[in-house]
Chain A
Amino acid sequence: MLQVLIGFDRGFRVLFEGLQRLGRLGLSSLESMGRSALFLFWTLRGALLPPYKLRPVLRQIQVIGSGSFLVIMFTGAFVGMVLGLQGYYTLSKYGSSSALGAAVALSLIRELGPVLTALMVIGRTGSAMCAELGIMRISEQIDALDCMAIDPYRYLVAPKLIAGLLSIPLLTAVFNVVGVFGGYMVGVVLLHGNGGAYVASMSSSITTIDLKMCFVKSVCFAFLLVWICAEHGFWVNRRAWGFGAEGVSRATTSAVVASSVSVLVADYVITSLML
């Protein structure tokens, strides 16, 4: 009888501790979501309300946009070349190599252009954005801004958001153009496909809806990546990542993973809504 009671007590305690853990997890997730939503609200407020300052936005455009230009060109060229190569051999089997231009352009404009551009910018700039804000937080630079009555959302984050929204769609366009050219170089120049058919199939298959989809995706991805990466760095001290350099490094890793996954999930959602 005593053993049964002890067993019952132990079981009850395990169940109770499990419920406690679940509750803690629920509360911390809710707190984290609330903090992220407030972060976005204050950032949008900082971006939309005057006074408007052009210089910080231009500086961020230089970091996000022109700093990523070469990487995007390089990536776009090789993605287009791989698509040209794979597409040419696959379509040749069915005697449809004339549709290579359409296959390359549609793959790039609808999917690969916006997604790969966003992933490259996350790797290059998103991680740096998170680390920069994280270091500013742990070295009390953000507190110093607060103490000087300078809104850190307006001063630090809003220029990054505006610059991201302006730069990333343009980088996506560059990626697409270079990718289409890369596909042409492989499919037409290297493998001696029909150049006229490449261009004609491309221009007849691309519609305004495809371009709209590409633009909407790149804007949404820009929004998501700046939001997630900046928030992870800005509130590095509010998460259970530890403090100091280790906390910043874990926040950066988490920001890159979270923003990359969000981009892929958002890609599916936008595609399913716009197709």
Chain B
Amino acid sequence: MLRGVNLDIERGETTVICGESGQGKSVLLKHILGLVKPDRGQVLVEGEDISRLKGASLNRLRTRFGVLFQGVALFDSMNVFDNIALPLRERSRLSEPEVKIKVEKSLQIMDLEGSAGKFPDQLSGGMKKRVGLARALQLEPDILLFDEPTTGLDPVKSHDVYRLFFSTQKRLGYTSVIVSHDIPKIFNLADKIAILHQGEVRACMTPDELQRSRDPFVQDFIVRVMGKAYNVKDEIGIKGMV
């Protein structure tokens, strides 16, 4: 599915990967996580090729990641509290009272107080995303990957997710990679935008560079997905609202 992907993601930056459906965006995230191995080439995370790591060394590197899956992937047999507590119970040395304090703080930040005992099936789409984000942040990752974080959410809920994402990034300073269709809103969050087409990264640039780009492919992509030429000033500033 992927061929000729050449992408550098800088520490502390937000890189948005966009492209049409079926171009390999989610597969690219799975490569970054080492869930899928490339036929050839390297996926370097802090200088280590994650595609060649196994066992304990792979786990050690993975503890630096947090992931928010497209379908959120909450454990449906566990309630919200246990879902958020799982990484702490399994991967940290915190005692149960310490876990409780940390999870309750996360529930407060994510505006989920009162939902600790609910099961994923009892939550709305936006609440599930917030629980997923809270779980992904528990081990304070250096790198956070989001696969379609706002799919299926109405504009208000999408805005809430972005607000939470941006405030937590400001606080924790993680590197983030976002796969999204939420164009052009997502451009406002991005330090860099990578456009994936037919398994290749056809462009990787800042939103300003994207606007000024003379590349016919980039211009065509922007017009196709937005129905007009992209202008940064048209967008509502999510960053400014946090």
Instruction: List the B side residues contacting A140 at CB < 8 Å.
Output: 69-71, 73
Q: Could you tell me the distance between the alpha carbons of A151 and B67 in the complex, rounded to whole angstroms?
A: 16
**Size class of B's contact patch?**
20 to 34
Q: Could you tell me the distance between the alpha carbons of A149 and B63 in the complex, rounded to whole angstroms?
A: 6
Whether B76 lies near A148 (C-beta < 8 A) is: no
Whether B91 lies near A150 (C-beta < 8 A) is: yes
Instruction: List the A side residues contacting B71 at CB < 8 Å.
Output: 139-140
Instruction: List the B side residues contacting A155 at CB < 8 Å.
Output: 90
Given contacts A148-B91, A150-B86, A155-B90, contact A143 B73 (CB under 8 A): yes
Instruction: List the B side residues contacting A148 at CB < 8 Å.
Output: 62-63, 86-87, 90-91, 139
Q: Could you tell me the distance between the alpha carbons of A136 and B69 in the complex, rounded to whole angstroms?
A: 13
Closest beta carbon of chain B to A126's beta carbon, Å: 18
In-complex Cβ contact of B35 among A136, A139, A141, A147 (8 A): A147
Say yes or no for B75: interface residue by CB 8 A criterion.
Answer: yes
Instruction: List the B side residues contacting A141 at CB < 8 Å.
Output: 73-76
Instruction: List the B side residues contacting A135 at CB < 8 Å.
Output: 76
Say yes or no for B33: interface residue by CB 8 A criterion.
Answer: yes
Whether A147 lies near B90 (C-beta < 8 A) is: no
Interface string of A134-161 (1 = CB under 8 A from B): 0110011101101111110001000000
Whether A147 lies near B67 (C-beta < 8 A) is: yes
Closest beta carbon of chain B to A194's beta carbon, Å: 53
Instruction: List the B side residues contacting A136 at CB < 8 Å.
Output: 75
A138 closest partner in B (C-beta): B71
Instruction: List the A side residues contacting B33 at CB < 8 Å.
Output: 146-147
Whether B60 lies near A146 (C-beta < 8 A) is: no
A45 closest partner in B (C-beta): B55
B132 closest partner in A (C-beta): A144
Q: Could you tell me the distance between the alpha carbons of A144 and B62 in the complex, rounded to whole angstroms?
A: 11
Given contacts A143-B35, A144-B67, A155-B90, contact A149 B59 (CB under 8 A): yes
Interface string of A193-237 (1 = CB under 8 A from B): 000000000000000000000000000000000000000000000
The number of A-B residue pairs with CB atoms under 8 Å apart is 48
Whether A147 lies near B91 (C-beta < 8 A) is: no
Given contacts A139-B71, A140-B71, A155-B90, contact A147 B62 (CB under 8 A): yes
Whether B86 lies near A147 (C-beta < 8 A) is: no
- Give residues 143-187 of A contacting B (CB, 8 Å): 143-144, 146-151, 155
Given contacts A140-B73, A141-B73, contact A150 B87 (CB under 8 A): yes
Interface string of B189-231 (1 = CB under 8 A from A): 0000000000000000000000000000000000000000000
Say yes or no for B187: interface residue by CB 8 A criterion.
Answer: no
Say yes or no for B81: interface residue by CB 8 A criterion.
Answer: no
In-complex Cβ contact of A144 among B30, B60, B63, B73 (8 A): B73
Q: Could you tell me the distance between the alpha carbons of A51 and B69 in the complex, rounded to whole angstroms?
A: 28
Instruction: List the A side residues contacting B62 at CB < 8 Å.
Output: 146-149
Q: Could you tell me the distance between the alpha carbons of A148 and B89 in the complex, rounded to whole angstroms?
A: 11
Instruction: List the A side residues contacting B76 at CB < 8 Å.
Output: 135, 139, 141
Given contacts A149-B60, A149-B63, contact A144 B90 (CB under 8 A): no
Whether B73 lies near A149 (C-beta < 8 A) is: no
Closest beta carbon of chain B to A146's beta carbon, Å: 6
- Give residues 65-102 of B contacting A (CB, 8 Å): 65, 67, 69-71, 73-76, 86-87, 90-91
Closest beta carbon of chain B to A62's beta carbon, Å: 13
Whether A150 lies near B69 (C-beta < 8 A) is: no
A148 closest partner in B (C-beta): B87
Q: Can you show 18 pairs from A to B with CB atoms below 8 A apart?
A: A135-B76, A136-B75, A139-B73, A140-B69, A140-B71, A140-B73, A141-B74, A144-B73, A148-B62, A148-B63, A149-B58, A149-B59, A149-B60, A149-B63, A149-B91, A150-B87, A150-B91, A155-B90
List residues of B whose CB falls within 8 A of some A CB: 30, 33, 35, 58-60, 62-63, 65, 67, 69-71, 73-76, 86-87, 90-91, 139
8 tightest CB-CB pairs across the interface, nearest first?
Answer: A149-B59, A140-B73, A144-B73, A149-B62, A147-B67, A149-B63, A150-B90, A148-B87
Given contacts A140-B73, A155-B90, 14 further A-B contacts (CB under 8 A): A139-B71, A140-B70, A141-B74, A141-B75, A141-B76, A146-B35, A146-B62, A147-B62, A147-B67, A148-B63, A149-B59, A149-B62, A150-B87, A150-B91
